[in-house]
Amino acid sequence: MAGYTHLNLKEVEDQAPKFDMSPDLEFRSARVPLEMENAGISYLRVAPNFRMPFGHQHNVQEEVYVLINGTARIKLDDEVLDLKPLDAVRIHRETMRNLEGGPEGAELIAFGAPNTGPGDGPMTQGWWMD
């Protein structure tokens, strides 16, 4: 095995169509394609004014979200933050979270550690209601 894995995140399979969330969401999880042993990384594109239909938290994994383009709002438990490009938010595993794209949409990178595989992020449908 090589000491590195190289790929473009936009070439990773988009998972959003599997959950009927396309075209409002693009979600490309690269943990497996990058052969990551101790963490995970994903690319997300959120359509303008689209709010994720669920909140989630983790049993083990801590996450960092980095907004790379556009604007977004993120709800963390009972607090809502406005994000601008290159804002980074570290999120404790037990903190409930959800994203909403700004008027021009948003592109984010989500990084999580440790690598827990599937099933570590219980979801709550309709968690962020105005």
Residue whose tokens read 């999580």: 112
pLDDT, residue 1, reads: 57
Catalogue all structural domains in the chain, each as residue range(s) with its CATH number: 13-116 (2.60.120.10)
- Helical H segments across the chain, by residue range: none
Mean pLDDT (10-residue bins), the chain, 130 residues:
90 95 96 94 98 93 97 98 98 97 98 85 88
For residue 122, the 8-state DSSP code is -
Task: Tell me how far CA of residue 126 lies from CA of 51, 55, 56, 59, 130, in angstroms.
Answer: 10, 7, 10, 20, 10
Task: State residue 98's pLDDT score.
Answer: 95
